[in-house]
Amino acid sequence: MDTHRTAIVQPTVYMGVLVALGLSHLLNDTIQSLIPAVYPLLKARFELNFAQIGIITLTFQIAGSLLQPAVGLYTDRNPLPYSTVVGLVFTFFGLIGLAHASSYFLTLVSVTFVGIGSSIFHPEATRSARYASGGKQGLAQGIFQVGGQTGGALGPLLAAVVIMSRGQTSLQWFSLMAIFAMALMTWTARHHAGMRAHFEAATARSGKHETDGRPSRKTVLIGLIVLIVLMSSKLSYLESFRSFYTFYLIEKFGVSIPTSQVMLFVFFLSSAIGVLLGGIVGDRIGRYRIIWISILGPLPLTLLLPHVDFVWTGVLTVLINIIMASAFASIMIYAMDLVPGRIGLIGGIFYGLNFAVGGLAAAFLGGLTDVIGIESVYRICSFLPLVGLLTAFLPRQRLTRESHQDPAAN
């Protein structure tokens, strides 16, 4: 019997791996989302202004973005399945540090560690999700990303229930999440070789080669630039929610801090639903259509949001984020098809972009809020979905359905 084929993991393991990846992503991003969730507490303790709040986000996001493309590029040639565990170790120590930070400076150091942890975690985890996809890339990325989005939703809720009542030091108990995620990623890494062998064998059996439908350099460049700009506009708008939504609700509607945290949970939960739906629907109707719908589609709703009451603010928040979040999986897969064989690099670029744009947007919007007020900032941000018109410039040529053979195998 062919020894190469006997190394192939059965398809049932792939779903198990995807669930483990999604759950690890949930745990990792729950820890990340605790950072903006405790901003009201940090603001009161250290007497911070909005610009300083924005700098916390900027520090965290920059730390989470700078290493990701480099890590992704390196692991494209030298896969490091256990690097996700190393990333989670950084996250663990960053959270412990944040729980006991006694100054603004130590807060910045702690969030830097959490950011570095995420920069190591995402590229290799993205590769594993690709290998485990079984050809259903949208579903695989959707499961992986919905874990992250759900984790982002749980953070504010846990902050409202636990941290706001027990104080900053209670953050240390959430370090158990990092330990559990380490165990899950250790198990996942053991299946890496089998999943990769199956992925490459399936690609070979499909009869596709690197030259099949391979876009030109110009097409790749234009496509990646458009995708990056589209992703940046989406992330900038979403950052106005991640970092400042609680303050917006408190200032405009006079709600309590716990109520604002629950609303932030609703925001993240709707994003998680949108990510999964976008991945599944994208497998059926195509990435191009999903990108059009998700980027430009929310425009009427975002324009209306700053002018409605509290109840309608909640309704529009859900609708906007379900639609807008549906693009993430499609944008990632579109980019992977443009640059086949560079899964880690693309994962690193786009997850790194998530951090970098989010951090820059938070710092800019924080400073702008100090000058013109938070309600005016939301009115300005409501026009950002207009950038979705750039989708018309995405290349429409037929791209390969699967990423081609990993360069590390050459």
pLDDT tens for 227-279 read 888 888 888 888 888 778 888 899 899 988 888 878 887 887 788 788 778 87
Would you say residue 310 has pLDDT above 90?
A: yes
DSSP codes, 92-157: HHHHHHHHT--SHHHHHHHHHHHHHHHHHHHHHHHHHHHHTSTT-HHHHHHHHHHHHHHHHHHHHH
What pLDDT sits at residue 139? 74
Domain ranges of the chain: 9-202+216-400
Token couple for 325: 């979040």
Would you say residue 373 has pLDDT above 60?
A: yes
- Residue 159 near residue 31 (C-beta atoms within 8 A): no
DSSP state of 298: T
End-to-end Cα separation, the chain, in angstroms:
24
Long-range CB contact pairs, 9-17, < 8 A, 24+ = 9/191, 9/194, 9/195, 9/197, 9/198, 11/134, 13/191, 13/194, 13/195, 14/132, 14/133, 14/134, 14/195, 14/198, 15/132, 17/128, 17/132, 17/188, 17/191, 17/195
Burial class (CB in 10 A: 0-12, 13-18, 19+), 252: middle
pTM of the model: 0.68
What pLDDT sits at residue 93? 95
Classify 216 as helix, strand or coil: coil
Would you say residue 28 has pLDDT above 60?
A: yes
Cα–Cα dist 393/372, whole Å: 35
Burial class (CB in 10 A: 0-12, 13-18, 19+), 113: buried
Scan for tokens 């790749």, then name that residue. Answer: 220
Count of residues for the chain? 410
Q: Which residues of 45-65 are buried (b: 16+ CB within 10 A; e: fewer)?
A: bbebebbbbbbbbbbbbbbbb
Architecture of the domain made up of 9-202+216-400? Up-down Bundle (1.20)
